[in-house]
Amino acid sequence: MLGAKLKGEVEQADYEQANVEFAREIAGIERELREIDSAQATTDAFLRFAGLQLLDLEGAWQMATPEQRPPTHVSALCWRR
């Protein structure tokens, strides 16, 4: 677009309008990239947390409320030593 303007093939008003549209598109793409980065950071944080919980099953069990724990018959099978 700049090349066409410099050659006189594009009117100033058209050039300015195109710049406004390009700026809008760039802003939208940047917003989408920030959202993707945020979602990725959230996913990464959750996976780190889940990994730590897998390492400390007893601690996770103790932190869980009764509603979060599996039914007793399942937990007896899981925790049998």
Query: Which token pair is 26?
Result: 């760039």
Q: What residue type is assigned to position 76 of the chain?
A: A
Phi, psi (degrees; rounded to nearest 5) at 68: -85, -20
Q: Are 70 and 78 within 8 A, CB to CB? A: yes
Task: Please indicate whether residue 21 or residue 60 has the higher confidence score (pLDDT).
Answer: 21
Query: Which token pair is 66?
Result: 């009764």
> Does pTM surpass 0.85?
no
pLDDT above 70 (res 37) = yes
pLDDT above 60 (res 31) = yes
Grade residue 77 by pLDDT with cuts at 50, 70 and 90.
low
